[in-house]
Amino acid sequence: MPAKDNRSGQPNTSYTPIAQQQTELWLQPVAPRRRGRRAVSALLLLALFALTVVAGVVGGGLLYVYSRGRILPGVSALGVPLGGQTPTEAAATLSTRWDEQSVTLRDGERTWLLRPDELGMTLDAAATARAATTKGRSFDGVRDVVTQRADWFTVAPVWAYDAATAERTLAQIAPQLAVAATDATVRVTGGQAEAVPAADGRALDAAATLAALAADPARVLMDGQLALVTRPVPAAVQDVSAAVSEANRLLSHTVTLEAYDPLTDERFSWPIAPAVWSEWLRLSIDPTAPTDYRWALDQQIAAAYLDTLEAAMGDGRYLSEEETPAALSTAIQTQQPTAAARVYHPESRHVVQSGETLSSIGYDYGIPYPWIQQANPGVESLSVGQEIVIPSPDALLPLPPVPGKRIVVSISQQRTWVYENGHLKWEWPASTGIDSSPTAPGVFQIQSHEPNAYAGNWDLWMPSFMGIYRPVPTSEFMNGFHGFPTRGRAQLLWTGDLGHQVTYGCILLSSENAQLLYEWAEEGVVVEVQR
């Protein structure tokens, strides 16, 4: 029971139960351990104090950064740490980093290194810096740190993308990627035609490449590369089986090239076997109508072959590199046995000898001297040893020669012979020009037909007139064949003078013979006037 209050100051005795006595005795040895607990508490208090100091320092630092408007530690953009920087400093840092950025365009192993701005990407450094500054300045920011961890500290760059700029850049690169398609064609080897398959080309697919860029420009920038997309360009001509069949049909016959020299009246004949001319054969495709084709001869290869033929003719004579292959091509395609060609002559050089004049030189070469004057501008007089140009006699043969017909006139014999297919058809007396107005010797052609031509210089009307050459190359006046002329449409001239030189350069026949010749000789018939 509780002890009573002893107000007298005497010791107070009280009763303690046995159990309580035992407990107190058990507890006595524990007294030293109470002193150890105090030591641990002291250590804990010291640690807590240290943590408090560190937290205070860190918190103070963070508070300082936060309160001063600087970017929180750990925040970065474009892979650049921005913590502790002001927005202005961060913007400058980002601009420097942006200038170092590049994007590699890749096409297989080929690459093009470009700046981001060349692909239309422009960084807004100030806006990106502001976005970095706002990181962590809200309760949501703290939550994001916990949930996102390291990803939270990365700020996405703020930029603009201009597709037009990227398109212009790709347009500049496109030609470097282009591979032209190759049309199918026909190859002839060993006298046999075979198809050469087509090969597709390729081109830059700018639209697809731009779509890949526009879909995620940030990823392209972070990866630093962009794969260029290409598209196939199909060949216009894929199937030449019909041409192969046609070529093999054409390769079945020999073509004979028959060349004619109108100046000398010589004929040349060269059989050309398919094994030879098949190497010249080329297929030409109309790009506007890929299914249409035509055959042509390779001019370069054909010309090399023609060189061997020209060497055989000699005297510098040659075959036209345009006309002759065209004639051969036509004969091959139409399966004609022959192809006709004309032999040409080059201009020449003459060294003036003593006593020669332009007139005498022209007479010797069969070229009217005004033509020689025209070929030598500035030459007013001749001197011994002087070299002058003699124009090609082909200049006086402007039309394709008519095969199988030829007229021969002799000045010395005053006669005319008419040949057809190598046989004499007619022989007549004729009259040529007087000495003061002579008929020029040479090889000419029938160039015009006039039923009744008028010569104003002599007041002559000339029936059945056929012009054969211009005495002066710049004049329209021509010398030629005609019947008995009239003066004043009444006076008939020279009827009794056939066989004598009476004209002013023309060739006079009887009116009856002139009419026959007029009707027989078409334009292009060769006329040889012999001295």
Is the pTM higher than 0.85? Answer: no
Tell me, yes or no, whether 359 and 269 share the same domain.
Answer: no
Q: How confident is residue 88, by pLDDT bands cut at 50, 70 and 90?
A: very high
Is 421 a member of any domain? Answer: yes
Same domain, 316 and 373: no
**If you count DSSP H runs as helices and E runs as strands, how many of each does the chain have, helices first?**
15, 31
Domain of residue 267: give its range: 253-344
Predicted local confidence at residue 68, as pLDDT: 65
Mean pLDDT of all residues in 21-28? 31
- Total domain count for the chain? 3
Sheet strands (E) in 386-506:
387-390, 405-410, 415-420, 423-429, 442-445, 450-455, 460-469, 479-482, 486-487, 491-492
Given 344, 360, 385, the domain boundary residue is 344
- pLDDT level of residue 5 (50, 70, 90 thresholds): very low
The pLDDT of residue 293: 66
Is pLDDT above 90 for 354?
yes
Tell whether 419 and 478 lie within a shared domain: yes
> Is there a domain that residue 388 lies in?
yes
pLDDT at 138 over 90: no
Torsion of CA 167, 172, 173, 177, to 10 degrees: 110
For residues 293 and 366, state if they share a domain.
Answer: no
**For residue 492, is it within any domain?**
yes
Q: Same domain for 302 and 361?
A: no
**Is 501 among the domain residues?**
yes
| Structure-token pair, residue 222 | 């972070």
Residue 309, domain member (yes or no): yes
**Residue 480: per-residue pLDDT:** 97
Residues 415 and 518 in one domain: yes
User: Does 504 share its domain with 429?
Assistant: yes
The per-residue pLDDT of the chain, averaged, comes to 83
Residues 247 and 282 sit within 8 Å (Cβ to Cβ): no
User: Residues 428, 473: one domain?
Assistant: yes
Among 397-411, 420-434, 476-490, the least confident range: 476-490
Position 367 in a domain: yes
Residues 375 and 282 in one domain: no
CATH code for position 384:
3.10.350.10
Domain contains 245: no
- Asked whether residue 3 carries a pLDDT value surpassing 50, the answer given is no
CATH number for position 490:
2.40.440.10
Kindly state whether residues 516 and 426 are assigned to the same domain: yes
Shared domain for 409 and 523, answered yes or no, is yes
Give 30's pLDDT tier (boundaries 50, 70, 90): very low
H or E element in which residue 268 lies: strand 266-272
329 pLDDT above the threshold of 70? yes
- Do both 424 and 504 map to the same domain? yes
Which residue in this structure is represented by tokens 């990407």? 121
Tell me if 222 is assigned to some domain: no
Mean pLDDT of 119-135: 90
pLDDT at 29 over 50: no
Token digits for 358? Answer: 């332009």
Distance CA 366, CA 361 (A): 8
